[in-house]
Structure 1
Amino acid sequence: MINTIILLSLCFRFGTTYPKEFARRCGHVHLTISASQDTNLELNWITDCTPPDNIRPDYIALYHYNLKDRSEETPPLVKIRASDHPSGYYKTKIKFGQPWLPGNWEYRDSLTRADQGPHCYPYWIASIKGNDIIDTRCLGIQPTWMNDNRMQIGTQKIGNLFIPGTHNSGAYVGVPKILENYILNQDRSIWTQLVHGIRYLDLRIGYYENDGFYVNHDLVRITKVVQIFKEIRKFVQLAPKEIIVVDFHRFPYPSNFNSTLHEKFVSLVYDYLGDLALPPGGLQVGKGPTLNEIWAQNKNVIICYADKAIARENYWLWQPLYQHWANTKNVDTLKSFLSRAIKEHRVTLNPMFALMAELTPQPIDLFFRTNNLRKLANDVNRKVTVWFRDEWARDVNIVATDYFLGNDIINVAIEANNNR
């Protein structure tokens, strides 16, 4: 298994590096995973060139190894002519599935150590011009990206940091097959999300008299919260410098989620995560604390709570975190909404805010079985990568998406934070 990943794309020509700005334009590559159930690998590359610096790739190829590390090329898994796909996207027939996590990051209760730093799956994309390699990059995990980049990002305030997140993070498994396409927003566990580099978890909670607390998608219960708490706790133990924002954003069931239920739930959360929780104290002022200030307290889980009164009564809970949600299935409408939200966001009691960068089925879609969550994620995820990479990288805080492996938001966030 390959154990290295290229974080910042470098372009090589017989050992000579192309100027860095070229890597951000033509031929800059990344891999994604289709949100469809086939989980096909997708090739992505930048096609926007500014003459006369017109270094357009001839070919885009997929390998099981880094092409730059081999003196002799073995046949690629896929090789396409870039000019045949002017959008800079190609969906392969190679299925990603649910592979083991590299770097000893596969979850188990007995896990006590995992390898720090980024790690690669055995899939590498390359852009090629003639006999020259423009760019290569693997599909990989970023389990410790905050610590890996601590010298660059330590002085940034939490409200200014670009934090990759997931929408309805706990909605990844646990419902009847017939409901999956309209209930599940993810296809990876909380653990796998964290290992890949997700640092914001959006959770909605329901309570059932005989079964306890569950993660819900609206009124549909999905999975018990205790397993999610265990995975968060285990991850923080293995990666103690990673800062996780846990947002208990709604309590949809029962409709009268009263103070007694809140107290019972808060007690459960405290049992599993209380000793890891960063108390807000005076830290919710302005853009919040810097990462260095958070690390100094050795408490790296920020728990935001939708009920203001309950948050005030518990010193370790943060006030509600505002989510900007377009509630649309139209890509252009979503982009316009997000652009306005970035410009018009106002400071609240919580220094952080989230842009919900996903499309939403409407009631008519449920009736006619159209525009399911997987389809809508495929419609927008590639565009989300472009928007936040090329237009909004310096202006955002939390960005949450559906089927997050269908975009490159984690790597976009890491590079943006290093460049701020």
Structure 2
Amino acid sequence: MSDADFSNWMGNLPERLTKVPLGHLAIPGSHNSFTSALDSSHGVAVDQSETIQKLGASCCGAITKIIQRWSANQSMAMFEQLTAGIRYFDLRVCKKPDTEQFHFLHGLYGDNVQSALSTIRSFFEDNPKEVAILDMNHFHNMEPSDHDRLLGEIEDTVGDLLVPVNGYQYKLWSLTLANIWDHPGRIILIYHNPFNAATFPKIWNKNVIQSPWPNTSSTNSLIDFLERNYTEKTRPPGYSFHVWQGCLTPGTGTIAMRLCGSLKSVLARPATNAFVNWVRDKAPGEYRINICIVDFVEMADFIPVVIGINGENSRPFREQMTEDIFAKEFQ
């Protein structure tokens, strides 16, 4: 990865880009963000089938070690990702069985949610002009009361840093860095399970984001999927966040043929290389590039390339129509 310091890249953007809706900036993100600390000693997680959970409990750790190699999508911990420039986080959450604690998960159990949020808080104390998007989009082993309790814990831990919906929901074009900086909030929390908006007015619902899934283990199919969506402008017009997924999904056969391999070596490395090569000459803006996610964000100069296409001296930025980004801001 580049030696450049991206811990404050949003704060260092040219002034006119701070007035662009966040949905029209190129933002680097991570897929299955907090999976660097998956713990094989705690058994198979509840997002797996009962059969896999039973196998994991009866095979002396062999199954959990395979799951760990194929479920870990990131090497960098949360604070490291924030410091490196990642500003979008793809999160899967559960209530850990036989406890009242919430954890991130993917095949195995990862960090405690409340502890992770405390770590995020410390980053914003040192980088007050940065903004992060936390996208909680999968939930496991959770009843409605658990969702209320989790949202309450989030409010208690980082409530003052949450960007409220009120003030933006009818003027989503005003959700810009410049406007956010006028208020205390620095975290946009998107929650994909129904909740009481009156009780949790600082939580954003799933309607503000789209994330088309390529669902392939083929690099060529991945790039074809992305290119078709980009050239045909399948991204819905208007304001919303839009995720471009530069990730390959292993099928059962892929894993079975490579039990001693890993997601990183077999799929993530070629996928990230291909995605970075594809995105480097694309432009941010309406219909165009917004949030970009990959596995193992430290690879292939992913972070500097995505941030770089926002630059006013970059070819993508020069070639796109200026009114595409700015017109609706001034309506």
> Among residues 147, 162, 181, which one is paired with 1:277 in the alignment?
162
- Does the 8 Å contact 2:247/2:293 carry over to 1? yes
Partner of 1:169 in structure 2?
A: 33
The match for 1:294 among 162, 176, 180 is 180
Is residue 302 of structure 2 the alignment partner of residue 413 of structure 1? no
Q: Which residue does the alignment assign to 2:20?
A: 156
**RMSD in angstroms over aligned alpha carbons?**
2.1
Which of 284, 294, 316 aligns to 2:202? It is 316
Q: How many residues align?
A: 279
By how many angstroms is 1:306 displaced? 0.6
Q: Deviations over 1:102-154 (max 9, x none)?
A: xxxxxxxxxxxxxxxxxxxxxxxxxxxxxxxxxxxx53431001111252421
Q: 2:83 corresponds to which residue?
A: 195
Measure the CA separation in 1 of the matches of 2:161 and 2:292. Answer: 23
Quote the offset at 1:288 in angstroms.
5.1
Report the equivalent of 1:57. none
| Contact in 2 for aligned 1:262/1:310 (Cα 8 Å) | no
SS in 1 for 2:134: strand
In 2, the alpha carbon distance for the partners of 1:152 and 1:144 equals: 17
Task: Give the whole-Å Cα distance in 2 for the aligned partners of 1:316 and 1:247.
Answer: 14
Percent identity, please.
27
* Per-residue deviation, residues 6-27 of structure 1 (Å, max 9, x unmatched): xxxxxxxxxxxxxxxxxxxxxx
Question: Residue 163 of structure 1 contacts residue 199 of structure 1 at CA under 8 Å; is this kept in 2?
Answer: yes
| Offset at residue 386 of structure 1 (A) | 1.3
Counterpart CA distance in 2 for 1:185 and 1:225 is: 18
Q: 1:337 aligns with which of 203, 222, 225?
A: 225
Q: 2:9, 2:85 within 8 Å by CA — same for their partners in 1?
A: yes
Q: TM-score scaled by structure 1?
A: 0.62
Gaps of 5+ in 1: 1-31, 33-137
1:166 maps to a residue whose letter is S
Corresponding residue of 2:120: 232
Q: Which has the higher helix share?
A: 2
The answer (yes or no) to whether the contact 2:92–2:104 under 8 Å persists in 1 is yes
Partner of 1:328: 216
**Aligned partners of 1:162 and 1:399 also within 8 Å:** yes
Say whether the 8 Å CA contact 1:393–1:413 is kept in structure 2. Answer: no
What is the alpha-carbon distance in structure 1 between the residues aligned to residue 199 and residue 210 of structure 2?
20
Q: Is the 8 A contact 1:287 1:351 kept in 2?
A: no
Q: What is the alpha-carbon distance in structure 2 between the residues aligned to residue 311 and residue 345 of structure 1?
A: 27
Shift of the 267–309 alpha-carbon distance from structure 1 to 2, 3 Å rule, reads closer
Where does residue 56 of structure 2 map in the other structure?
A: none
1:359 paired with 2:248, answer yes
Structure 1 residue 311: Cα displacement: 5.0
CA deviation vs aligned residue, 1:181-206 (integer Å, no higher than 9, x gap): 21100001000000000000111101
Q: TM-score, normalised by structure 2?
A: 0.78
Q: Do residues 387 (structure 1) and 285 (structure 2) align?
A: no
Q: Does 1:307 align with 2:307?
A: no
SS of structure 1 residue aligned to 2:190: strand
Relative to structure 1, is the Cα distance of residues 292 and 393 closer, same or farther in structure 2, using a 3 angstrom cutoff? closer
Cα shift readout 1:364-386 (whole Å, capped 9, x = no counterpart): 12333357310211112122111
- Whether the 8 Å contact between 2:223 and 2:274 is mirrored in structure 1 is no
- 1:206 is aligned, of 79, 82, 94, to 94
Work out whether residues 283 and 309 of structure 2, in 8 Å CA contact, stay in contact via their aligned partners in 1: no
One-letter amino acid of the structure 2 residue matched with residue 373 of structure 1: L
Residues 168 and 175 in structure 2, CA contact (< 8 A), matched pair in contact too:
yes
Matched residue type, 1:356: Q
Aligned to 1:143: 7
- Cα contact 2:27–2:87 (8 A) shared by 1: yes
The SS at the match of 1:249 is strand
Query: In the aligned structure 1, how far is the partner of 2:304 from the partner of 2:70?
Result: 28
Distance 1:391 1:289 in 2: 23
Instruction: Give 1:386's aligned amino acid.
Output: N
- Given that 2:67 and 2:108 are in contact with CA atoms closer than 8 Å, whether structure 1 keeps it comes out as no
- Which has the higher relative contact order, 1 or 2, with Cα contacts under 8 A spaced 6 or more apart? 2
Q: Distance in 2 between matches of 1:211 and 1:308?
A: 20
Using the alignment, how far apart are the partners of 1:327 and 1:230 within structure 2? 33
Q: Which has the larger radius of gyration?
A: 1
Contact residue 35 and residue 74 of structure 2 kept, 8 A: yes
Q: Say if 2:89 and 2:135, in contact at 8 Å, map to a contact too.
A: yes
2:157 and 2:203 mapped to 1: Cα distance? 14
1:238-295 CA distance string (max 9 Å, x none): 10100111111110x21xx221010010011111111100002242455451211111
Q: Residues 203-236 of structure 1, C-alpha deviation per residue, up to 9 Å, x if partnerless? A: 110102325100011x532221122111110001
Q: Would you say 1:374 and 2:267 are equivalent positions?
A: no
Deviates further, 269-278 or 384-393: 384-393
1:339 to 1:282, Cα distance in 2 relative to 1, 3 A? farther
Verify: 1:243 aligned to 2:139, yes or no: no
Determine helix, strand or coil for the equivalent of 1:324: coil
Matches within 5 A, 1:256-271: 257-271=142-156
**Larger strand proportion of the pair:** 1
